[in-house]
Amino acid sequence: MTLVMERSLPEEVWVQVFDFLSTEDKHSVRCSCRYFKELMDKYSCLWRDLCVVLSRFSSYNRRFWSTLSRRNLSGAVLRSGKQKNLKHLAVTLPCLRSIAIENWSEESLDHLGQFPNLRCLTIKYPSNCPLEVSRALVPLSRQITHLNICNVKLKCPVTEFILSVSKMKSLTSFLFHHDGTQRVPIKAFHALLIGLPKLRHLSWEMISYKTLPEDYFSPAVIPSDSLELPLSSLELLNYDTVVSEEALVCLSGLTSLSVYHLYSVPGPRCHLRTWLTALPNLTTLNIHGGHPLGAYADCVPHTVTSLTLCVDMTAGDLETLSSRVSNLQHLHLEPWGSMGHIRRLPELFPQLRTLKMRHHNVPDSDFLDLYHLQSLERLEVLDPYYWPDRNLVDHITYQPSPRLLSLIGGLQGLTNHRVHVITAKNTRDPMTCNCIE
């Protein structure tokens, strides 16, 4: 009976149905019967966005590699691998477009040049020995568009590495995070800005900088002879650096700014005010840590429509912010301390279309009052876990609690199921580092 039902529908219909499934559900369906297994293996389009994580290479057999080779995978994460594993991967999955390398145990990465379609390369976490990254980038200089280097021991001087990156003319996104011991000289930084005319996104470690010189973002020759850098998105890690508005003139075209205070303790002066005053075209602003919201709420640009705030704040701070960004459409709110501000959101930001928040310590009535957000389309609950037994603090269940499920049902009833509520555990992009969210 089941087999008759399966084959009564054209293959193309099943493929469209399978395409809606998560990777985990696809694997479950594949194991359910031989017919679905054949379909799953036949249509590689079902796996086009899958990123496989490889760690125990000795445990993978021929059938495993044969299955992977048929799926036209987009990316792979190599954990604790060796040069021979990279070479084998280049033969088995030559079409990979994204590769992340973690905890590499050998200094050489020469076989990266054997991936002709590679566009995104991530190297992260300390390795047992310094890596020869600069040499590995040479054969990739024309094809890589996204490069992420996080907390990696470089075998060459940092200046040599930055100069190697500056020759990657196709690069549109560059992330370089370190522990503060590899401060990049300003001349090398300028060579990077000048040498990468397509660079749009830069994520930069700032923990070793105390004061930015006036020409820090103003190289002598700017690509395309403009007064502005081509950057549209900038991430600053551990930033607490004195800067003037004059030093930010070349960044006036930025539309996205993210500031992450992970280890740095902000001083008495909020330098973020200078940035917000000098960047009138921001549409996206992400702040994690640092000074309370009240230190800069009154100078957030009116153009901001997407906002992330993981900081300390008061109700008055949110009122000030509301008067600045009345057209806010996307909000990620994780206030330090009280969650009592949630009930004010429909009043302060009535245009919200998406909202990310935590539900623990939020009164039921405040959660249900979110139905007053008439434009809300998507709500993401960031903490879908609970303690079944409060006496067993370490026993956490990572799924929505009965209370949360009841609240979601009530909210969907009040909105006639207009709001799509997401409670799945956040999945981090394996191609990025853990420094940022």
Q: What is the mean pLDDT of the chain?
A: 88
Secondary structure letter of residue 155 according to DSSP: S
296-322 pLDDT, tens digit each: 999 999 999 999 999 999 999 999 999
Q: Is residue 7 in a domain?
A: yes
Which of 47, 67, 84 terminates a domain? The answer is 47
Secondary structure letter of residue 171 according to DSSP: -
The alpha carbon of 375 is separated from its chain's Cα centroid by a whole number of angstroms, namely 26
Choice among 4-18, 50-64, 181-195, 223-237 with the minimum mean pLDDT: 4-18
Q: Is residue 11 in a domain?
A: yes
DSSP per-residue codes, 55-104: --GGG--HHHHHHHHTTT-SEEEEES--HHHHHHHHHH-TT-SEEEEES-
Q: Is residue 115 in a domain?
A: no
Q: In the structure, what pLDDT confidence band is assigned to residue 177 with cuts at 50, 70 and 90?
A: very high
- Which CATH number fits the domain that encloses residue 31? 1.20.1280
Q: Is residue 367 in a domain?
A: yes
Q: Is residue 146 in a domain?
A: no
Total structural domains within the chain: 2
74 has pLDDT over 90? no
Residue 2: the pLDDT is 47
368-410 pLDDT, tens digit each: 999 999 999 999 999 998 888 777 767 888 889 999 999 999 9
Residue 221: the pLDDT is 63
353-366 pLDDT, tens digit each: 999 999 998 999 99
Residue 390: phi and psi, rounded to 5, are: -65, -20
Encoding tokens for residue 123?
């190297």
Encoding tokens for residue 332?
């990620």
Nearest to 309 by CA among 326, 332, 290, 325: 332
265 has pLDDT over 70? no
Q: Is residue 114 in a domain?
A: no
Q: Is residue 189 in a domain?
A: no
333 has pLDDT over 90? yes
Which of 9, 30, 47 terminates a domain? The answer is 47
The alpha carbon of 206 is separated from its chain's Cα centroid by a whole number of angstroms, namely 19
Q: Is residue 116 in a domain?
A: no
Residue 437: the pLDDT is 65
Residue 1: the pLDDT is 39
The boundaries of the domain holding residue 352 are 345-432
Task: Please name the residue that has the structure tokens 């991967």.
Answer: 89
